[in-house]
Amino acid sequence: MGQKNKSFIFNEAMSWLRDIIIAVIIALFVRQFAFAHTVIPTGSMIPTIQIDDHIFVSKLSYYFSDPQRGDIVVFHHDVDLIKRVIALPGEEIDLRDGKVYINGEPLEEDYLNEPMDTGITGFLEFPYKVPKDCYFVMGDNRNYSKDSRYFGPVHRDQIFAKAGFRIWPLKSFGFVK
């Protein structure tokens, strides 16, 4: 093998190495600041999200806007959790007659599997006014979800992503609503 051939192989290997390093850096950047993959460990969001569903979440969503009622958010509370935003900052939430009331009006929740047991109030007293910069979140599987009823409202700074796209199982492939 001649010197020219060795030089070509070395240059080609360096070119590949450079491309791989750039790809890894881009992937790490995207993972850290834009999107992440998560596997759902519990049934607190059934029927919307099942145990072991694989979800892509968008970390970009809340850089430019605040969470809205109905958004499925990922936040940190000792561990990362995924729940639905039910009440916004400054709103009054009440749980009675098997329903959620926001500022005295019943909340339409077509995503629930069964009527909510409003006797399950956790540690909060209702009606409850959501503090400034906080959100009241609940799992869709209300009767079996540990949520804001137990750990209180979630501060805006704890929310870091919005559920976006289910990639597994394939039969449920698509946007999470």
Catalytic residue (choose from 4, 6, 7, 44): 44
> What's phi and psi for 15, nearest 5 deg?
-65, -45
What letter does residue 136 receive in the DSSP assignment? E
What letter does residue 16 receive in the DSSP assignment?
H
Phi then psi for 60, rounded to 5 degrees?
A: -80, -25
**Is 4 one of the annotated active-site residues of the chain?**
no
Q: Which of 59, 61, 83, 148 is catalytic?
A: 83
Burial class of 158 by CB neighbour count within 10 A (0 to 12, 13 to 18, 19+): middle
Confirm whether 44 is a catalytic residue: yes
| CB contact at 8 A, 170 and 106 | no
| Nearest alpha carbon to residue 73 among 169, 154, 5 | 154
Residues noted as catalytic: 44, 83
